[in-house]
Amino acid sequence: MQSNVVTAVFLPLALGIIMLGLGLSLTIADFKRVVVVPKAVLVGLVCQTLLLPAAAFAIAKGFGLRPELAVGLMLLAASPGGATANLYSHLARGDVALNITLTAVNSLLSLFTLPLIVHFAMTQFMGAGHAIPFQFSKIVQVFAIVLVPVSIGMLVRGRKPKVADSMNRPVRIVSAVFLILVVGAAIAKERHSIVEYFRQVGLAALVFNITSMAVGYLVPLVVRLPRRQAIAIGMEIGIHNGTLAIAIASSPLLLNNSTMAIPPAIYSLIMFFTAAAFGFVVSRGMEAEPVTNSPGS
């Protein structure tokens, strides 16, 4: 893939603005809350960092995906939940505070888990000779792209909460526009092959999406977490940060492979509809229950 303005400048900028918006909604308390409800957070992290990559690997193998598409699906599985999960969780009467905590912790952990999972995927699907392990410099780049804008947003939230509140809505709107543009750019770059890619990976992406939400919802129920927390975890790991995955796959500074960006792009198109259907189903019968939106609920 040839480096151009979109991949070299626009993608990191778009991701930076989206991460800034995430930071504007986070506080130190969101991280401290891990101590208050360790079980719910631990269950969410196990689902995100262990079960989802395993599910993505099995689905990629089962559907016989091309190596680059298989790696793209694994890259998506390794990406943390998106901020949009908070909105969907709220609409489905989930525990939004738990969503915020999981987003914060997952975003931090992904700086370490994502390179490991991607390296494993490239070794398994493309062979050891073709693997491009994340060098330290690449980890630093991902760290800068993700953590720096989040930290800036949190700093603004901590020192100037009114400014953060005033910025929150405009940044969210810009983030949504950027998300659409990033997905559109990834698809446009492969427009001559997009129908074929959709045929190859569309069903796999849908199955992975449904699996993600099912795992995130059912595992918490099995270990006897409250239903609101189960909804929150289901949304958190079902709505991945596709923009992060697309940026890592497409950026000349990182994987530099536009084909690997196709599964996250297709998944990003699918997940908004499936998440809405999932929220409608799991929230039925909860209308009479009070919404506390606290991890202890």
Q: What are the tens digits of pLDDT across the range 217-259?
A: 999 999 999 999 999 999 999 988 777 788 788 777 677 788 8
Ordered domains of the chain (ranges, CATH): 5-282 (1.20.1530.20)
pLDDT value, residue 291: 45
pLDDT value, residue 135: 53
pLDDT value, residue 288: 45
Mean pLDDT value of segment 120-139: 68
CA gap 47, 49 in Å, rounded: 6
Confidence of residue 143 (pLDDT cuts 50, 70, 90): low
Residue showing tokens 């062979």: 127
Q: Which two tokens stand for residue 197?
A: 């890619």
Q: Which of 26-35, 143-152, 175-184, 201-210 has the highest mean pLDDT?
A: 201-210
78 vs 154, higher pLDDT: 78
CA gap 85, 103 in Å, rounded: 9
Burial 231-246 (b: 16+ CB within 10 A, else e): bbbbbbbbbbbbbbbb
Sign of the CA dihedral with 273 first, then 274, 275, and 278 last: positive
Contact at 8 Å (CB) between 117 and 53? yes
CA gap 110, 247 in Å, rounded: 14
Distances (CA, A) of 235 to 6, 39, 105, 292: 30, 17, 15, 17
105 vs 18, higher pLDDT: 105
Contact at 8 Å (CB) between 266 and 202? yes
Alpha helices in 127-226, H assignment, sequence order: 136-159, 161-189, 194-222
> Does the pLDDT of residue 269 top 70, yes or no?
yes
Give the angle 252-256-262 at the CA atoms, nearest 5°: 130
pLDDT value, residue 209: 94
CA gap 81, 100 in Å, rounded: 10
109 vs 10, higher pLDDT: 109
Q: For the segment 85-125, what is each residue's pLDDT rounded down to a tens digit?
A: 877 887 788 887 788 788 778 877 887 888 889 888 988 99
| pTM of the full structure | 0.76
Mean pLDDT value of segment 65-88: 86
Mean pLDDT of the chain: 79
Q: Which two tokens stand for residue 296?
A: 């202890």
